[in-house]
Structure 1
Amino acid sequence: MNPSLAGAAANRRQFLGLLGLGATAMAGAGLLAGCSRPAGTSGTATNVDAISAVLPKYQPVELVTPDIAGVRPIADGYLKYPAELVKAVTETPGNSDEPISAMTPWWGPTPPGRDRNAYLQAVNEQLGVPVDFSVQDGNTYADKLSATLGARDVPDLLCAPNWEIDKIPRFSDAVSTLFEDLTDHLAGDAASAYPHLASFTTGAWQYAVWGGRLAAVPWPTDNPFPYALFYRKDLTDAAGAQAPANIEELYEFGKALTDPGRNVWAFGSVFNMVQMFYGVPGSQGGWRQTDGGGLEFKYETEEYRAALEFTTKLFAEGLVHPDIAESRGSADAKQLFNSGRTLCYEDGVGAWRGMYSEQRQITPTFDMRPVPIFSATGDGDPIAWGEEKPIFYTFVKKGLGKERTEEILRVLNWCAAPFGSQEYHLRQYGVAGQHHTVSADGSPEVTELGRQEMADQYTFLVGRYPAIVQTADVPGFVEKLLAYSNETVKYLEPNPWAGIKLEFPANYSRVGQPTEDKILDVLRGRRPTSDLEQIVSEWRSGGGDEGRDFFAKALEDNGR
């Protein structure tokens, strides 16, 4: 988390790196106040392929022909901003004048409210109804989300990241209690009243079903990869070093470029990417089927042990920045990378554009690139973790009535207008001369006022038909991103549970984060690698084996 929203500048994309939390984020156990479940609850598995009757009829919308086609689910690329924009919504969505309350996350400074925010005022004028945003700190959004659900005091529109709700026990109970059933509004041909929502893929809508009913509006992903291994090409070129192409070169890269005397270390956090290089399974956080028909988790595999031993060696030999090595988490990995104190680290693919744009304003030569994925052993193809689940879901408060719900859906349809439309342009860039200027190549450049007032408020409410657009602040970015993504998607790991909505057993959810903390101690040298066997045993007895039975039954029940 991990997509790129075409054209946003500087800190408007800080949140996107967090979209790459993937298995690491999902390993933790979220507790929902007032909706907790007892230890041992077995979880649920729903085959979403069986609910086609409640899904919107797919109606693609394309206003501009792409310059570079993405290999699905990768978004298409556009190398220039269109000179002429289409008005995609001809009627004003709102007519009640009653403010719509909304809660969204943001990984940056909190913007002013609508009374002091020209951007919100401009968009609300087009909507015909004001949207009142409660913008919450993305770093603590899980706590706010749990508290809001637990208090049963939800806004009219609630944005929920997939990596947070996957950790909330019995979230489906909260859905049926607190949020509107959207099936009759959007199923089948009914979605034609909201054509931009109908342009979302059927696969995205499948995941928005709870209890056999359509319960949310999804934000479709445009890039399925949770991580990439980024390196500072500007600095490595100056040092005469190349991007590593195999595991031995990655180690030598670390040895050659680490220089504590100059306050430079080769690596920040890299363990998730090292796992991919070694072929560690990543489906549903780390499961795969064995040749004998059973299931094994990543902790139990030889590939994971090899990845752990390799990464532990990087720490032991001082090739990882000490702030990373001494922390319980990953310290401020972005700042270390941006300042050149580390030359290589992992992050969500979505972090790339924002960091590139922001840092080029500080250091014009700044250049970050992803290391092409490779197989550590050299045998067979590499493995890329990833999934096509929506990034966010937007829920509508239950009990607002038919007219109010339809008004809100019209607002969401406006917000979902695709690239090439006037609506997209206003939502992404605000008012010309205030929130953005136009660069020599015709692309918008966000101003300081835009950075202060825009926190992707309307973007978080709903997705749109994916597009990656070239802008002046990130020269060559679209070509680089599409080249990397279109190559990496070839190695996307098959997911045996694709199309099955899973709500994990309580014990399995709860054992995840404590186990990851123990693994972290091994990586940092606080525990020997020989402790892995004990850690795995504790994981199995604490809920891991319960998870194995759950995932196996989900496959069996769905004929796989």
Structure 2
Amino acid sequence: MDRSLAGAATNRRRFLGLVGLGATAMAGGGFVSGCSRPAGTQGTATDVDAVSAVLPRYQPVELITPDIAGVRPIADGYLTYPTDLVRAVTETPGSSGEPLTAMTPWWGPTPPGIDRNAYLQAVNERLGVPIDFSVQDGNTYADKLSAILGARDVPDLLCAPNWEIDKIPRFSDAVSALFEDLTDHLAGDAALAYPHLASFPTGAWQYAVWGGRLAAVPWPTDGPFPYALFYRKDLTDTAGVQAPKNIDELYEFGKAMTDPANGVWAFGSIFNMVQMFYGVPGSQGGWRRTDGGGLEFKYETEEYRAALEFTTKLFAEGLVHPDIVESKGAADAKQLFNSGKMVCYEDGVGAWRGMYSEQRQITPTFDMRPVPIFSADGQSTPAAWGEEKPIFYTFIKKGLGKERVEEILRVLDWCAAPLGTEEYHLRQYGVVDQHHTVSADGSPELTELGRQEIADQYTFIVGRYPTIVQTADVPGFVEALLGYSNETVKYLEPNPWAGIKFELPANLSRVQQPTEDKILDVLRGRRPTSDLEQITQEWRSGGGDEGRDFFLKALEDNDR
């Protein structure tokens, strides 16, 4: 992403570890009730051919040549902000003048509404139809999303984070009942009527299919990695400590940087990254094929046990910040990290840019960097989790009529205009000298009004073709990000289920979070590591073995 809410994965874990909070109770309604799917919901797997048949035809929009090419699926990088902007959409996309309603999340102060927001007014004027945004607290967005789905009362445009809808019981039923089927509007050559949407990577559209039909517009990820292990390089440089290159060095790093007398601890939550260092599988949540042709889940592997024992040792030896130890999740890890009370923690790669920009205004020497990925022994090939799954999806309310849907798609296409266009610039930064000023290097910098009024409202309803551009507030960022990403992508774990669209079996969905809570108790020292075997057996009987059969059948069906 392009500013402080970069992408999750675009800042997925900037959102306070929402993935780990578990399923939220759903309010009323036939397809959304309670925290779990009805018994007997076996899940669905839409095969690769069925998904491919409804995908938009890919047609890139080529405006400017990148300074640093990303190794796909990594975004391209630009070292200067383009100043010779082009107008990509010559006609006003909206013609009805009828207002649209939209619901989007935001992880910051709520911006003023449409009547008191000059930024919204400026963009809406270009769109030809006013979009009235209901901006909801991102930390509690799951509750709001669940409530409106349960009540079957959705806005014209709904932004849904991928990590929330994956937990919603029978979400495909909600899609069918509440949202427009976009297949006839966007499949194949039909997408060329919306050239900026057609420029989205095919890998992002694959996930926007439910029940064999194209049901949403994706926000493509600008990086496939769910986590990076960030450290305060400014603090470690002062201490003369180098970034670790193997698991033993990570342990020594922890001992060297922990200083309880001065209120400093080395680590926050880093268990996911430790799993990667040990080569724990990550596909579809943690599955991999065995030599005998079957499947095993991460809990059942020696690599997972080793990662669990190592991370438990970090907690037991007091190398993890006490606030993390006492919390159920990650506590206020960002604040601890920013204040220098915690030196190292895991977060989405998208968190990097925003934190770097914000904290440099407070502490000019602030420097956060990702630890280059390594294997536990420092010799084996590293393993990086990742996928092209979109960060968010935008759904269009069902029953608006063909002409209205086409108008909405034209609006979304305008909002999806890429870097180098007037549309992109207005969407991201508002009006010059009002919402942003221009730095000496030509890059835009938000004013106080811009920070108050812009909450990426139009970005949340569509996204854009992934690009990373340098701005004055984050010197050296693009080179650092692309250097890390292009190196890490070499070790991206292959996904045997790539291109298959899943709705998971009810029991597997239901058992996963309680199992992770038990693992959390082990990490915190509330249960011994020897309990892993019992926890694994409970997971298997509670839905894990059902999940094994489900994923294995999906592979067998697609191998035919």
Distance 1:260 1:182 in 2: 56
Distance in 2 (alpha carbons) for counterparts of 1:120 and 1:170: 35
> Corresponding residue for 2:53?
53
Describe the superposition over 1:354-391 as per-residue Cα deviations: whole angstroms up to 9, x where unpaired. 00000000000000000000000345201000011111
Matched, 1:188 2:188: yes
After TM superposition, the structure 1 = structure 2 runs for residues 101-120 of structure 1, keeping only pairs within 5 Å, are 101-120=101-120
Equivalent residue, structure 2, for 1:28: 22
Asked if the contact 1:12–1:456 (Cα under 8 Å) also holds between the matched residues in 2, the reply is no
SS at 1:54 equivalent:
coil
Match in the other structure for 1:468:
468
- Matches of 1:474 and 1:152 in 2, distance apart? 43
Is this contact kept in 2: 1:275–1:303, CA < 8 A?
A: yes
2:38 equivalent to 1:17: no
Q: What is the CA distance between 1:13 and its match in structure 2?
A: 8.0
Asked if structure 2 preserves the Cα contact closer than 8 Å seen for 1:277 and 1:373, the reply is yes
Amino acid at match of 1:17: N
1:179 alignment partner in structure 2: 179
Equivalent position amino acid for 1:417 in 2: A
Q: SS in structure 2 opposite 1:558?
A: helix
CA distance in structure 2 between the partners assigned to 1:203 and 1:13 by the alignment: 16
Mapping 1:123-522, distance limit 5 Å: 123-522=123-522
Change in 2 beyond 3 A, CA 1:31/1:293: farther
Task: Give the deviation of 1:103 after TM superposition.
Answer: 0.6
Say whether the 8 Å CA contact 1:26–1:166 is kept in structure 2: no
CA distance in 1, matches of 2:178, 2:268: 42
Query: 1:39 Cα shift?
Result: 2.0
Q: CA deviation at 1:19?
A: 4.9
Distance change >3 Å, CA 14–CA 172, structure 1 → 2 = closer
Rounded Cα–Cα distance in structure 2 between residues aligned with 1:85 and 1:195: 18
8 Å CA contact retained: 2:7, 2:222: no
Mapped to 1, the partners of 2:186 and 2:11 lie a distance apart of 32
CA deviation string 1:368-422 (max 9, x = no partner): 0000000003452010000111111111111101111111011000000000000
SS at structure 1 position matched to 2:67? coil
| Aligned-partner Cα distance in 2 for 1:557–1:30 | 33
Are the aligned partners of 1:228 and 1:349 in contact in 2 as well (CA < 8 Å)? yes
Cα distance, 1:226 vs structure 2: 0.2
Q: Distance in 2 between matches of 1:187 and 1:499?
A: 16
Q: Residues of 1 paired with 2:138 and 2:309: CA distance?
A: 33
On the 8 A contact 2:428/2:456 being kept in 1, the answer is yes
Structure 2: runs of 5+ lacking an equivalent: none
Q: Aligned partners of 1:445, 1:189: CA distance in 2, in Å?
A: 38
Deviation by residue 1:273-330 (Cα, 9 ceiling, x = unmatched):
0000000000111111111111111111100000000000000000000000111111
Q: By how many angstroms is 1:475 displaced?
A: 0.1
Asked if 1 retains the 8 angstrom alpha-carbon contact of 2:325 and 2:524, the reply is yes
CA separation in 2, counterparts of 1:397 and 1:237? 53
1:133-170 CA distances to partner (integer Å, 9 max, x unpaired)?
Answer: 01111111111111111111111001111111111111
How many residue pairs were aligned?
A: 554
CA-to-partner distance for each residue in 1:245-267, whole Å, 9 max, x for gaps? 11111000011110100111111
C-alpha displacement of 1:451: 0.7
Partners of 1:493 and 1:319 in 2: how far apart? Answer: 29
State how far apart, in whole Å, the 1-side matches of 2:17 and 2:362 are: 33
Deviation at 1:63, TM superposition (A): 1.2
Q: State the alpha-carbon separation in 1 of the partners of residues 440 and 299 from structure 2.
A: 52
Deviation at 1:50, TM superposition (A): 2.7
Instruction: Quote the offset at 1:30 in angstroms.
Output: 5.0
User: 2 CA distance for matches of 1:24 and 1:493?
Assistant: 23
Q: Residue by residue, what CA displacement relative to the aligned partner does 1:93-135 show, whole Å, maximum 9, x if unpaired?
A: 1111111000111111111101000100000010011000011
Worse-matched range after superposition: 357-366 or 523-532: 523-532
Distance 2:453 2:368 in 1: 28
- TM-superposed deviation, 1:192: 1.7
Query: How far is the alpha carbon of 1:25 from its aligned partner?
Result: 2.2
Q: State how far apart, in whole Å, the 2-side matches of 1:315 and 1:442 are.
A: 47
Work out the percentage of aligned pairs sharing the same amino acid. 84
Match of 2:82 in 1: 82
Query: Does structure 1 conserve the Cα–Cα contact (< 8 Å) formed by 2:222 and 2:466?
Result: yes
SS state at 1:93 partner? coil
CA distance 1:18–1:181, change in 2 (3 Å): same
CA distance in 2, matches of 1:221, 1:174: 24
Distance in 2 (CA, whole Å) between partners of 1:214 and 1:498 is 17
Question: Aligned equivalents of 1:472 and 1:186: distance in 2?
Answer: 38
Matched residue type, 1:536: T
CA distance in 1, matches of 2:472, 2:461: 27
CA distance in 1: counterparts of 2:331 and 2:441, whole angstroms: 38
CA distance in 1, matches of 2:219, 2:78: 20
The question of 1:533 aligning with 2:533 is answered yes
How far does the alpha carbon of each residue in 1:64-83 deviate from its partner, in whole angstroms, 9 at most, with x for none?
11000000000000000112
- Partners in 1 of 2:66 and 2:338 — Cα distance? 32
Matches of 1:140 and 1:15 in 2, distance apart? 19
Aligned residue for 2:414, secondary structure, equals helix
TM-score normalised by the chain length of structure 1: 0.96
**Alpha-carbon offset, residue 31 of structure 1:** 5.3
CA distance in 2, matches of 1:13, 1:69: 18
Q: Contact between 2:45 and 2:554, CA under 8 Å: does it hold in 1?
A: yes
Cα displacement (A) at 1:27: 8.8
**Per-residue deviation, 1:18:** 2.5
- Consecutive unaligned residues of structure 1, counting only runs of 5 or more, are none
Distance 1:15 1:549, change over 3 A: closer
Report the Cα offset of residue 199 of structure 1: 0.7
Name the aligned partner's letter for residue 25 of structure 1: V
C-alpha displacement at 1:489, in angstroms?
0.2
Specify whether residues 480 and 362 from structure 1 end up closer, same or farther in structure 2 by C-alpha distance, changes over 3 A only: same
Q: Do the aligned partners of 1:102 and 1:156 also contact (CA within 8 Å) in 2? A: yes
Distance change >3 Å, CA 27–CA 235, structure 1 → 2: closer
